[in-house]
Amino acid sequence: MDSWNSSIHFCQWIGVTCGRKHPRVTKLKLRILKLSGSLSPYIGNLSFLRELDLVGNSFYNQIPQEIGGLRRLEALHLANNSISGEIPSNLSACSKLTLVDIRGNQLIGEIPASLGLLSNLKVLGFVQNSLRGSIPPLLGNLSSLEELRNVISGIVPVALFNLSNIRAFDIGTNKIQGEFPECISNFSSNLRGLNMGGNNILGKIPDEIGNLISLEVLDVGHNQLLGPIPFDIGRLWKLNIFYASSNFLFGTIPHSIGNLTELTKLIFDINNIQGNIPSNLGLSSLSIVLSLSSNSLTGELPVEVEKLKNLGLLDVSHSRLSGLLPNNLGSCVNLVELYLEGNLFEGPIPPSLSSLRGLGAVDVSNNNLSGGIVEFLVRFGALKYLNLSFNNFEGVIPSEGVFKNTSAIFVEGNNKLCGGILELHLSRCNSKTSSKASVKLKIAIIVVILGVILVFACLLILWFRKKKEEKPKTTCAEHSLLQLSSQSILRATNGFCMENLVGSGSFGSVYKEILEESGVVIAVKVLNLLNHRASKSFFTKCEALKNIRHRNLVKVLTAISGVDYQGNDFKALVYEFMENGSLEDWLHPYVSMNESEMTRNLNSFQRVNMAIDVAHALQYLHHHCETSIIHCDLKPSNILLDGEMVGHIGDFGLAKILSADRLNYSSNQSSSLGLRGTIGYAPPEYGMGSELSTKGDVYSYGILFLEMFTGKRFKEGLSLHKHVKAALPNRVIEIIDPILLQESVGGGKIIDITLNENRLGNDRHLQ
């Protein structure tokens, strides 16, 4: 605050804004400046003040009564200080107030009923204080109120449900009692966040809740609710998060839940829900948590679980589920935690679960599972908790991987298991068991040898065929989906005319092509062979892409290598067409006269999902390929977006394959010379000759992540890394992309509804 001195005019002080016509203070914004002390009563002399923002400082003592004299005041931000005392009742005299945010202080007393006279009020927040009493019924007159976040007790006044413009209603983690109000339907259809969790609310969830069709977050967990889950819940088609845990709900899960195609979290644990798990509960949108544990569910786990490809946590423990574990559970390739304990499952662990390489926790204890311990669990590097206890497993326990960590593995209650590390205190395996294992090993060796011979024979046949064929053919794909030639590509792109050009680079140009027979839209990258690095890039991409398959990598349909109609060398790669272009087009759009900039904006959810998509692809390239692949050129222009805005990593022209001696690909065939990657995204160490590693991709991912959420790019000497570091920890809000800030300020999106997740912080489903 060095600028606050008499040598310069007060209108030029930091945080002070004056009116244009007269030198009178209209805004005082001193957010997060480590200020302390009492709020001066002289603040009441700023009669032209419209906004007072002191958020995130250390002010203490009471709110001065003189603030009530600021008749022009529109916004009062005092959150996250140490202010004590009661809320001044004369705040109602500030008739122009639209926002009162005094969360996170030490206020006591009751909420003044006179605040109900502030007819222009839109946002009212009191949480994380020590207020007592109930919400005054007079607040029901605030017809303009859009957000209400309070700490109260007692019964919610019926008048409060007449707030026709409310968009966020948060009264979670309080001492509210009484029945769940049926008049909830009086709320505006614009309501997007409803948090009534962590109270003592009785009764049933009313059917009328289905009228809140814009609801995105619903938390009624940790109450004393009875009765079934309403069928009309299925009308909330925008619902993203649904908590109803720790109640006394009964009945079956309604099939209408299958209509909630935007759902990412569904938590119904610790209730008394009966019946089967509906088959249509396999929502592909469920990407975070599906928890139905501690209920009375029966029947089998539906085969539709294969649709949960994006799910991170599945918990159906402590119910009465039975039958075999479905083989297609292995389709849930993004699972990190799997809890099936305390049921009646039987049979072996399906071999398809070998595809769940990202599992970190697995609990199948207290079931009737049988068979041997599957060997693929040894190869799960992320697995830190494995509970197989109290089943009917038999045979030899491995001694590698997770099985050599006694704090991570639990196998008690399986009387037919033997071997393992000494700390498990299991019996030695007898010779019969050992001989069986030896026979299995011999069979496995024979199968591997036969497989190698077969592969070698196939490669030899393909080599002879290649010598005989004259027309262009694929060089990358193991199973070509398309049979194309340079002539067919020339026709489909209308002679590579500019109208079909969608992009170009140093290695070649990309054209949009529509196949005549099928109407399929593809992207064709024709290499510029005048650039000697382009040919090497072609073989690098083929080598990198021929054995990899992942939903977040751009799919290569085929490749062409031969001569064109003029007798010149011709090389091209055929990709799946990404209709939404690249991430760079969205982060830094070029707005033409006929295109609105709003059409190219990314919201926060889309950016987070794209960051997750890229992370999944990198994890696959680094850890789940037969040989690790370093991309070397991760940047927004190489992140392509399909029709559903799913991110795909493309352009492997600079890729580096580790352990190259294991492939028919020499390390001296590098696809580029000198620095690999793009300046600003490549690690500085690369410029000093450091060896390539997967850590370089991680560095590039960090820069990409910063660019996604700041909207800034590396140019004109700007170091994005240093730019962000300089803003930490107190000026983060200044570097966030303004488009994201607009979402929470009048943009209609609620991106900061935390729903008191601190209350659930110890819940393993949210960790």
Which tokens belong to 169?
């209603």
**DSSP line for 498-525:** GGGEEEE-SSEEEEEEE-TTT--EEEEE
Catalytic residue among 53, 101, 170, 633: 633
Torsion over CA of 252, 253, 258 and 261, rounded to 10 degrees? Answer: 170
In Å, the largest CA–CA distance within the chain is 97
| Phi, psi for residue 613 in degrees, rounded to 5 | -55, -45
What CA–CA distance (Å, rounded) separates 126 from 148? 8
Structure tokens at 343: 């049921």
Neighbours of 648 (CB within 10 A): 24
Give dist(CA 97, CA 114) in Å, integer. 13
**Residue matched to tokens 């560095």:** 699
DSSP state for residue 660 in the 8-state scheme: G
Cross-strand pairs, 267: 243, 291
Q: 198 near 221, Cβ under 8 Å?
A: yes
Residue with tokens 């009534």: 196
Computed on alpha carbons and rounded to an integer, the radius of gyration of the chain in Å comes to: 31
Active site residue 585: no
Which conformational region is residue 545 in: left (phi greater than 0), alpha (psi within -120 to 50 degrees), or beta?
alpha
Q: Are 672 and 533 in contact (CB under 8 A)?
A: yes
Q: Residue 193 in 3-state DSSP?
A: strand
Cα–Cα distance for residue pair 270/222, rounded to 1 Å: 9
User: 416-419 and 501-504: which strand pairing?
Assistant: unpaired
Residue 691, C-beta contacts closer than 8 angstroms, at least 6 positions apart: none
Structure letter (DSSP) for residue 467:
H
Rounded-to-integer distance, Cα 664 and Cα 747, Å: 55
Q: Which sign does the torsion angle of CA 215, 218, 224, 226 carry?
A: positive
Q: Which residues pair with 523 in a beta bridge?
A: 512, 575
What tokens were used for 153? 């007790």
The DSSP line for 575-632 is EE--TT-BHHHHHS----TTS-GGGG---HHHHHHHHHHHHHHHHIIIIISSS-EE--
Contact 76, 63 (CB under 8 A): no
Please return the burial class of 427, using the count of CB atoms within 10 Å of its CB with bins 0-12, 13-18 and 19+.
exposed
Of 763, 756, 652, the closest CA to residue 219 belongs to 756
Residues 5 and 12: their CA atoms lie apart, in Å, by: 10
3-state secondary structure (DSSP) of residue 706 = helix
Output the six-digit token pair for 454. Answer: 């077969």
Structure tokens at 717: 């000497």
| Amino acid sitting at position 548 | I
Q: What letter represents residue 408's amino acid? A: A
Distance separating alpha carbons of residues 637 and 581, to the nearest angstrom: 9
> Backbone phi, then psi, for 577, in 5-degree steps?
-75, 130
Is 737 within 8 Å of 606 (Cβ atoms)? no
Would you please indicate which residues are annotated as catalytic (active-site) residues?
633
